[in-house]
Every structure is written in C-alpha cells, then in structure tokens.
Chain A
Amino acid sequence: MLFSGATFLYAFLPVVLVLYFLAPGVKAKNYVLLIASLVFYFFGEPVYVLLLVFSSISDWLHSVYIEKHRGERRAKIALISSIVINLGMLGFFKYTDFLIGTVNAILGTAIPKTGVPLPIGISFFTFQTMSYTIDVYRGRAHAQRDLGTMATFVCLFPQLIAGPIVRYVDVAAELEDRKHTLEGVALGIRRFAFGLGKKVMIANIMGELTQIFRESGDKSVLFYWLYAVAYALQIYFDFSGYSDMAIGLGSMFGFKFPENFNYPYISKSITEFWRRWHMTLGGWFRDYVYIPLGGNRTTKWKWLRNIAVVWILTGAWHGAEWNFVLWGVMFGVLLIVEKLWLGKLLEKAPAVIDHIYVLFIVVLSFVVFNASGLRGVVSDIGGLFGAGGIPLVSADAVYYLRSYAVAILAAVIGATPIPKYLYNKLREAPRVALEPLATGALLIVSTACIINSSFNPFLYFRF
C-alpha cells in the first residue's frame, strides 16, 4: 500500500484515524496502530508479515535478556545473536542472489539464484531493530517489557517501509505516554499534504520524464542531461516527500519522528550534502559503525578505513548491485578528498562554484545510482558526455525540455528554502483561512494527480 494510493488515502487512513481516536488510552491506541500496521504490511507483503512479527519477537526477547544480564558476557552474546539474526535476514533476502550472481560472473559457474523477492522495507526495519538492541546493550535505552509496545515500534506503519529510520530512543517515551493535541494533528496534516504534493505533483512527473527518456529511441547528450537532472529531482522529491508524509502521520498519532532531509541541494560541499540527505541513515552509520570503529579519533589510516567502510556499506545498503557499491565508494572517496584538501579550497571559493560542484557531482552520482548495473553506469555516464557518437541535441530532447521546463523549474525552486519562506509569509497573513485552504487545495490537486496517474512508484521501496 502506498501513502499516495487511493486505497491508503481514502480507505485505510480514514478507518485507522477513526479507530485510533476512538480507542481509550495509549495502550489501546498502540494496539490499533499495531494491528493497522500489520494490515498495512500484509496488504503489500502477505507472507513476509511473519518476518516482521518474528523480528519484533526476536528483538524483544533479546533486549529483555540483554537488560537482565547487563554487564555480563551473556548480554554481549545476546547482542551478537540479535545482530546476526537481523543482518542474516537482510543478507539472505537482499544479498544472496547478488553474491551468487557475482560468483557466477567471476568464476564462470552457473549456481542458480534463489529468486526470493525482497521484503518491502527490510533495510529500514532491520536497522531500526538493530539500533534498539544495541542501545539497550549500551544502556541508552531500557528494554521494552511489553511485547505489544515493542511490536508497535517495529511495525509502526508511517515509517515502516521507507523511513525515516526511527530509533527506539526517539519514540520510547511517546510509546508509553503521548499527548494528542489539535496543533499536533493540524501540523501533521499540513506536513502530510506537503509530502503528498511533493510526491505526486513533482516526483511522479519527473519520473515520467525519466521513463520517457528510457523508452526514447532518439537519445542525445541534451536528453541524457535532461534525464540526469529529472532523476535527481525525482529521487529527492520522492524520498523527502515520503519522509514528510511519514513525519506528518507520526505527528497526527502523537509521535515526533526525526527529520530526514534539510534542503540537500543547497549544500556547498559533499560533506554538507550528506549532513542534509537521508539524515537518519547517516546518523545510524555514524553512531553504530563509524564511531565504534574509532571515528576520526584514531590514526589517519584507520580514519580513512572507517570512512571507506561506512561508505561501502552505505552504497550496499541502497541496493544489491555493483553500481550502488560504486555509488557509495564514489562518495567515500569524495568525502576523504574534501576532508584532506578540497574542503579548504571550497571554503575559499565563491559560493556559486561550491554549488555547481555539489550539483554536478550529485547529478552524476544519481545517474550511477539509477543505472542498470555497471554496464549501465558506463552507458549512462558515457551518454552524458557524448560517448557512442550520439548527437548533442535531438528532436525528442528539445520537445521534452520544452514540455517539462516549468515542472523542472518548479522542482528546482521547490528544492530550495524559497517555498518554505513563502509559506511562512502566508502563515503570517492575517487571513486565517489561507493556510488551511492551501492545504486543502494541495490535497485536491494531489488526489487529481493520483486518480489520473498510472505512474506511482516509491523509489525507496526497493531498499
């Protein structure tokens, strides 16, 4: 079920909201959320919902055991057991066929692939549950004694399948006791409507353009660049729109989820970009991989190794293909280069140069990201620079540039803080109805786009 689908918006959500606000007390509300979340996941993954239940029970048992034996060797063994189970699930479902394919390619063997489909959102919920048991082991969180509450945290549908990666400590207090205020609901609605608009009014339209490019037989350098820009915009509005919807839904249900994006495309360095893009994933790797490895408080070589490990893992987390690993490595190298010498140059350079540098790298990186394997990377990056003798300009490229120019311009402006600034002005306006009306208009136009749309994927589902 997609947040931007008619089934979710006009059947699932209204029913859940009614049941939720009718339920007395936090415990009952938690159970409404748990059942709703299981139905939500069951709708898309009828069999794998058992995996979610297993993950909840497993981490609940492990965390209770860890807390009971805190300071003992047994706690460490339980922690390792929990991590092995979580990584084992992720490894089996996500990387088995990737490894088989790689072995076959290297050794010329013909080991059959398992063909096991990837459970939706597994990368997100395994990371959430791992952070939970690690935090319990470190003493940063108390083990949740109530299995229902624990399962509510693991399965919570607003952030279950595409983040943000919510850590247990972020919502532990709210799981036990939370307030439902008119302000929280209203701001949640507003945030949700904005996210929905970003998804269906911008990301999907950019997605159409990337699909048109893929299907066109009239490629040119201009068309490759048009595609690259459109995809960079699509992935930002798709993912950040989803995060906005998740945060908005969380707010309606009384939770405060962490922010996941902070205008990454206005960054002046790649280091800054990664402080603004998928912030909960970056924070997860920082706290659970980079710092435990020693972070930057170690020798230079170990520091470089730590960065390399984090970025190879970040790449692989995004997908079981070599182009994702390459994508991660590329950012790892760039971050090292920036930390060693380029960062100082960027600080001295005019801001416009910094922005051009970041946008150029980011646009290229997403071409790598969206390519079909390493061959696709070579083909697509080559296309951007005219490889293969393709023309500079083609009729299709000119037509679609004209057709999508306003949408691209709107998306580019939308990726900056300008809309927020304008919206804040609107909020300050004396006409109290303007903001609610704008929210309603967003919902109506988004619904219109959904009703007419056959193109409505969520890119981050595959992670």
Chain B
Amino acid sequence: MKKVKYILTVAVFVLVIFGLAAAGLILPDGAASASERRELAQMPEISAKAVFNREFSDKIETYFLDQFPARDTFRRINAIFRFYGLWQLDSDGLWVHGGAVYKSESKTDESQISYAATYYNSLIDAYLKDLNVYYTVVPDKSYFTQDLGYPHLDYDRIFEIMTTGVRGAEYIDIRDTLSVDKYYRTDTHWLQPELFDTVKRLGEAMGVGEYLTPEDEYTPHTLSPFYGVYLGQAALPIDPDELTYLTSAYTDTAVVTGPQYKADGIYDLAKFEGMDGYDVFLSGTQPVIEIQCPDARTDRELYIFRDSFGSSLAPLFTGAYKKITVIDMRYVTAGYLPNVVTFTPGADVLFINSTLILNTAMIMR
C-alpha cells in the first residue's frame, strides 16, 4: 500500500513539474496577453554584461512567469483561492460586488491633485485666456460604492482641491448625472449610451444644450465580448461585457484627423480586437485629434482636454460643434501644444479627466 502511494506521489510530481516544464518548452511563446492587456516578456538575450549584473536572471524569471503554460488558468486558480478559499475581500486591490469588478485606489495623492489644478491654470494662462473655459471631474466607479467599506480615494478632498484650485474656468459638476450602473461591470470606463444626462449637463453649462443631438436620433451598435481591464486583472470567472457605441447623422459625417489617427471615422472598430476594446472610441491613445462636423447645428468650436473617458463623450457633441479638437495632455507637452493646436478666440474649452488620472496627474507635462 505504501509503495503504491509513493509511486503515485512521484508520478504526480513528475506530471506537474516535468509536464509543465515540457509544455513550456514545446508551446510557442505568446506576444501578448489579451486578458491582462499587456505585452508578454520574451526570452532575454544572454550577454556577459546581462549575466554579471543579474539583469538576465531577473528577466528570465519574468519570462518564465509570463510565458508559463496555461497562465490564465493558473491566474484564475489563484484568484479563486484568494476570493473563495481565503475569503479575501480583494485580490491585488480588485474586488467584486454585484457582478461588477472594482479596483481600490486607496492612496489619495494630494500633491498630484494639486498639480492637476496648477497644470490646468498654467494652460489657461498660457493659451486659453480668450476662450470660454470649463472643467469637470469624472468620478471613477468606486465613487458610487464608498459605503461598501472597500478602500477608496478621498473623493471629497479631490473635488475640494480641484474646485478651489482651478482659476479662470467654470466648474461643471456631473456627479449627480452618473451612477454605478452607468459604468461597465468589468472595466473602469463609463457606458456611452448612459451619458445623455451628463452630456446635457455639460452642454447646457457651455450654452449648446439646445443643439445637442437628441437621444432618439442615435443608433446603438454592440460589440461583444468586451473584456474590461478589470476582468483580465481579476482573473475571475465573470461574464464579459458588451461594448455599445452610438452613431448618428452627425457622427457618420464627421471627419476625424490627427497626426497619428489612422481610422476612417469617429469609431475605430478594428481596435476592438486589440489590447483594449475601449479604443474603439476615437482610436484610443491619441495626442491630438480634430473632428470636423460639417452638419453641426452651430459654427462653434470646442477643445476637450481629456483622458479616455473623454473619448466616448466627444462623439456626443458632434451635433453641437462644427469642430471639436480632442487633446490628451499625457501624450503632448504643454510647451509643444501651439505646434499642433491653434486656439480660436471665443471657442469653448472643456477639461475632463477622471479621478484616477488626477491622482496620477504628473504624467501630464
């Protein structure tokens, strides 16, 4: 009996250790992880320098971890062990409530928030004095779950710093136009079809409320499955979302250009199959984009300083503005801005960044 048990123990060990080692050798290396939305480490180059400064040993461990056979399955086992074995409330800061995944960003960095306010002021002083400047702050979805007891940003403090720190711009509060169900379950972003109240609030504050495209003039289109950024990170067995984007006569005729913009139109459907499905909106990461709206109901211009939340919001202003310039200050420096954007006096400006970006605002230069 004992001998059989020993044989089985050795067999299990060989199966697991040698089996996975062999699988790692046989299976081709992956270039990227769709679930984690990142490129995977490749086999590091061996050189005497890399070996002796221990760079090689560090990189080879990362390579083995990244290229491990059935990596997603093992990540899922780990998540199940954490959530259902140890009953942890979160794993790597990710937690689940009501079928939605959230990420705890518990450390509010006031210096970053203050930097954002000062940064807005410097842009206003340098380029936007003759324009109508507005700003808003997009609460991330944990804003709406503060009473559940999970660690979260100090939202009161963030809004206080921003509303008292920004000068020469009108603050538009959009918090009451949003709720947790207006965000994707598996992603950090909001749902475009749920933004009409928000767009109305912003549009009315900027004086274009009556020119906004009515909700019933939009046609929803669905892309599925949409694996939100949190879904891959959490590695839990949760159903993916559906991504919905809206088209109208104004979005259909909009002409979008930019130094790095390659899509034909306001939605870049090819991006849905990429690392981040949300890049469908304005083709994701872009420093500067111009949206010409020939059929717009006004001749007004709008400049949006935004993060990815602004990507899905901007198309909903195509009926109200002749030209919308969308700028992401994470990818263009303030000093370089006049080289790529000419500001028209009298135009509207909207600063719109999420609390998550404001808490790491120093990436805006």
Q: List A residues at the B interface (Cβ < 8 Å).
A: 1, 5-7, 9-11, 13-14, 43-44, 46-47, 182-183, 185-187, 189-190, 193, 201, 205, 215-217, 395-396, 398-399, 402-407, 410, 432-433, 435-437, 439-440, 443-445, 447-453
Residues in B whose Cβ lies below 8 Å from that of A406: 86-88
> Do the beta carbons of B65 and A450 come within 8 Å of each other?
yes
**Interface on chain A toward B: helix, strand, loop, or mixed SS?**
helix
Residue interface bits B73-108, CB-to-A below 8 A is 1, else 0: 011111101000011111010000000000000110
| Docked pose: A193 CA to B10 CA in angstroms | 12
Residue interface bits B1-34, CB-to-A below 8 A is 1, else 0: 1111111111111011110110010000000000
Residues in A whose Cβ lies below 8 Å from that of B21: 10-11, 14
> Do the beta carbons of A13 and B77 come within 8 Å of each other?
no
Query: Is B57 close to A, CB under 8 A?
Result: yes
> Do the beta carbons of A405 and B87 come within 8 Å of each other?
yes
Which single residue of chain A is at the shortest CB-CB distance from B52?
A46
How many positions in chain B have a CB within 8 Å of any CB in the partner chain?
A: 49
| Docked pose: A124 CA to B1 CA in angstroms | 40
> Do the beta carbons of B24 and A435 come within 8 Å of each other?
no
> Do the beta carbons of B74 and A452 come within 8 Å of each other?
yes
Residues in A whose Cβ lies below 8 Å from that of B149: 395, 398-399, 402
> Do the beta carbons of A452 and B150 come within 8 Å of each other?
no
Query: Is B343 close to A, CB under 8 A?
Result: no
> Do the beta carbons of B57 and A433 come within 8 Å of each other?
no
**Interface on chain B toward A: helix, strand, loop, or mixed SS?**
helix
- Our pick among A403, A436, A445 for the contact of B90 (Cβ within 8 Å) is A403
| Docked pose: A451 CA to B149 CA in angstroms | 29
> Do the beta carbons of A435 and B9 come within 8 Å of each other?
yes
| Docked pose: A89 CA to B191 CA in angstroms | 64
> Do the beta carbons of A399 and B150 come within 8 Å of each other?
yes
- Our pick among B4, B65, B86, B88 for the contact of A451 (Cβ within 8 Å) is B65
Number of A-B contacts (CB under 8 A): 135
In the assembled complex, the CB of B359 is this many whole angstroms from the nearest CB of chain A, namely: 13
| Docked pose: A436 CA to B12 CA in angstroms | 7
> Do the beta carbons of B51 and A183 come within 8 Å of each other?
no
- Given A404-B88, A448-B77, A217–B107 Cβ distance below 8 Å? yes
| Docked pose: A183 CA to B52 CA in angstroms | 40
> Do the beta carbons of B10 and A44 come within 8 Å of each other?
no
> Do the beta carbons of A7 and B9 come within 8 Å of each other?
no
Residues in A whose Cβ lies below 8 Å from that of B60: 7
In the assembled complex, the CB of B325 is this many whole angstroms from the nearest CB of chain A, namely: 39
Given A186-B9, A432-B5, 10 more A-B residue pairs with CB atoms under 8 Å apart are A10-B20, A10-B64, A182-B3, A186-B5, A201-B81, A404-B88, A405-B87, A451-B74, A451-B78, A452-B78
- Given A432-B1, A448-B75, A186–B54 Cβ distance below 8 Å? no
Which single residue of chain A is at the shortest CB-CB distance from B76?
A448
> Do the beta carbons of B90 and A444 come within 8 Å of each other?
no
Query: Is B151 close to A, CB under 8 A?
Result: yes
Residues in B whose Cβ lies below 8 Å from that of A436: 5, 8-9, 11-12
> Do the beta carbons of B51 and A445 come within 8 Å of each other?
no
- Given A13-B17, A451-B78, A452-B78, A439–B9 Cβ distance below 8 Å? yes
Which single residue of chain B is at the shortest CB-CB distance from A186?
B6
> Do the beta carbons of A452 and B75 come within 8 Å of each other?
yes
| Docked pose: A1 CA to B51 CA in angstroms | 13
In the assembled complex, the CB of B103 is this many whole angstroms from the nearest CB of chain A, namely: 14
> Do the beta carbons of A439 and B20 come within 8 Å of each other?
no
Q: Can you offer 28 A-B residue contacts whose CB atoms are under 8 A?
A: A6-B68, A10-B17, A10-B20, A14-B18, A44-B57, A47-B52, A182-B10, A185-B10, A193-B13, A216-B106, A217-B107, A403-B89, A406-B86, A406-B87, A406-B88, A410-B86, A432-B1, A432-B8, A433-B5, A435-B9, A440-B12, A440-B16, A445-B81, A447-B74, A452-B78, A452-B79, A452-B235, A453-B78
